Chains A and B, each alone.
Chain A
Amino acid sequence: MGISLSKGGNISLSKTDPTLKNVLVGLGWDVRATDGADYDLDASAFMVKEDGKVRSDSDFIFYNQTRSACGSVEHTGDNRTGAGDGDDESILVLLDKIPADIQKVAFTVTIHDAEARKQNFGQVARAYVRIVNKDTNNEVARYDLSEDASIETAMIFGEIYRHGSEWKFRAVGQGYAGGLAALARQYGINI
């Protein structure tokens, strides 16, 4: 079990786990226990520059574009219901391969078709993001969002960012209305 972060909290990944090179960002939530449409949550990653915007659309990693052009960020697949043990979706980040002009990688989760299904994060139980060392399987950090998620339909769970010569992780827990499209536009994607 890694360090547990609260909303807004951050840690130095380089200091906490000096061997960390290949990061598995695991995102999870509980499958719906009640009747009705399943929660289909989608994880995405945005690779952004100093100004908080992507360089191009290819810096947006999601279910339809599962790998960045540089190969440093890779989405490992969509889970439609949240069923199963462990992480529901995960994104692989190879820190050494991240291009120098990328300042941070933000990890977001959006509820698919939230408006039609009348769903929001307040209904999703036990959402979390965790940072795992892919090579040792060691969990470095974890952020449980359940109480920080409410009527939003899109959330930035956390971000990995450069700080001088090291990498840090921040538990963001910032929510938005409007789904993946709104979130993508904010990061400068043309939709």
Chain B
Amino acid sequence: MDISKGQRLPLSLLFAGASQTVQVGLNISGLEAAVDFACFGLDTQQKLSDDRYMVFYNQPKTPCGGVELAVPAGDRTGFLCRLDSLPASIDRLVFTAAIDGNGTMRQIRSGHLRFLQNGQEGARFAFTGPDFQDEKALMLGELYRKDGAWRFCATGQGFNGGLAALVRHFGGEVAEDVPAAPPVPPAQTLSLEKKMAAGSPKLVELAKKATVSLAKYRLDATIARVGLVLDASGSMSGQYSKGRVQEVIERLLPLAVHFDDDGELDVWAFSRKVLALPPATLANYADYVNSAERGWRNWGMMSINNEPAVIEQVIEHYRGTRLPVLVIFVSDGGVSRNKEIKDLLIHAASLPIFWQFVGIGGRQYGILEKLDTMAGRIVDNCGFFALDDLHSISEQALYDRLLGEFPQWLEAAKIKGIVH
């Protein structure tokens, strides 16, 4: 029996008898690079909530034995599926292929996913290069539960971003040593610590911590511009006078120095109006909030908060840049202009800017808290997290959170051609 791409059918149609044990045989030929095959066991939300249910050469069997790496005669690889051994929490088995190296699935000469029982083939989903485009990873097909029975769908779709994109689609963690991930290229910039040591010994400790996070998120070699937007509405005065805003600048400067082509942190303050401050650098960062433009008390701020105005100005500032931009937007909440902010950021999704909103010591973050899941954007260009107090989080954890979503955006933005 031949199965076409996109076709759905009950497993009972493939084999006579009630046996719930099937063999899956996989083969792909014509690709120069190696292909890694895997079987993902997903929950009802179609997420990999239990990493032990990803079966591949480094983990050849699920704990229940329901899926096991086993190659039928004549196939490149395959899996033995004992469907009645799987826990009820496993709702779906997705069979995937990912190219480890150069090439795309368009170059496949021939390939198949076939089902066998006792060595006898029951059905085959055959495919060739023209079925695909620039995908580097594919979901070939999936077995899933529906109304108490198992069904099959010949999915035949995937991701240009390869195995890492696939794993993210399933909501899994991409570990450091994912086999298909490219090796981290040697850093193109001088070590962050060395730069700090030369410019500001005081920041060396922070630089070390930032470097760890940068490596963790594979941002070692990324060149980007970094902007900082500071809420300077009246409710923030305590944060300024206690020195907390100054601390934010000190903690972010290492990131700016690392990423930035010019080692500068572009800074804006906003209240009702917007004030573009001189960039923070290793030369002027010390006591920045009390010295830049004669100090924060003379900025003419401390009124209501007008987020849309500053968002517009930041967008304008980076217009035409060819580098990705990480904007860190610090707010203490009281956000009310939700509709305007939302419209601006939806519109800005096509620009090479990622907006990381950080709530400090505030409340009523309004739309800022919902930016992650906002619909209607080409890529998710916003992140948000709140801190009660800057001191409640370690510097290492802060860098992790600041950088957590940026790489995902960067990858998605590259795929969509927003960043080159």
Contact = CB atoms under 8 A, between A and B. Distances in A.
Contact of B375 (A32, A85, A119, A120): A85
B154 A35 contact: no
Interface in A139-159: 147, 149-151
Contacts of A85: 375
B114 to A, nearest CB: 18
Given A122-B8, A150-B6, A151-B7, A83 B375 contact: yes
Interface stretch (B18-26, B157-165, B286-294, B393-401): B157-165
The residue in A32, A35, A123, A151 that gathers the most chain B C-beta atoms within 10 A of its C-beta is A35
Interface string B118-158: 00000000000011111100010000001000010111111
The residue in B5, B135, B139, B169 that gathers the most chain A C-beta atoms within 10 A of its C-beta is B5
A35 B375 contact: no
B288 to A, nearest CB: 42
B157 A122 contact: no
B165 to A, nearest CB: 8
Interface string A9-34: 00000000000000000000000111
Interface string A71-87: 00000000000011100
B375 A123 contact: no
Contacts of B158: 34-35
Contacts of B154: 122
B139 A119 contact: no
B158 to A, nearest CB: 6
Contacts of A147: 8, 146, 151
Contact of A123 (B146, B151, B155, B161): B155
Contacts of A33: 169
A84 B375 CA distance: 5
A164 interface: no
Contact of A35 (B146, B156, B159): B159
A35 to B, nearest CB: 5
Nearest to B415: A35
A151 B7 CA distance: 5
Chain A interface size, under 10 / 10 to 19 / 20 to 34 / 35 or more: 10 to 19
Nearest to B377: A83
Interface residues of B, number: 29
A144 to B, nearest CB: 11
A122 B153 contact: yes
B11 to A, nearest CB: 13
A69 to B, nearest CB: 34
B157 A151 contact: no
A36 B135 CA distance: 8
The residue in A32, A84, A118, A149 that gathers the most chain B C-beta atoms within 10 A of its C-beta is A118
Interface in B318-353: none
A121 interface: yes
A34 B6 contact: no
A35 B130 CA distance: 15
B376 interface: yes
B380 to A, nearest CB: 13
Interface in A36-64: 36-37
Interface in A105-145: 118-123
Contacts of A84: 375-376
Contacts of B4: 120, 151
Given A34-B139, A35-B415, A83-B375, A119 B133 contact: no
B8 A150 contact: yes
Given A35-B133, A35-B415, A122-B154, A150 B7 contact: yes
B159 A34 contact: yes
A122 B375 CA distance: 24
Contacts of B131: 118
Given A35-B134, A36-B133, A36-B135, A118 B5 contact: yes
The residue in B6, B134, B160 that gathers the most chain A C-beta atoms within 10 A of its C-beta is B6
Interface in B399-416: 415
A49 to B, nearest CB: 34
Interface of A: 32-37, 83-85, 118-123, 147, 149-151
Given A36-B135, A85-B375, 8 more contacts: A33-B169, A34-B139, A84-B376, A120-B4, A122-B153, A123-B155, A150-B9, A151-B7
Interface of B: 4-9, 130-135, 139, 146, 151, 153-161, 165, 169, 375-376, 415
23 contacts: A34-B157, A34-B158, A34-B159, A34-B169, A35-B134, A35-B135, A35-B165, A36-B132, A36-B133, A37-B133, A83-B375, A85-B375, A120-B4, A120-B5, A120-B6, A122-B5, A122-B8, A123-B156, A123-B157, A147-B146, A150-B7, A151-B6, A151-B7
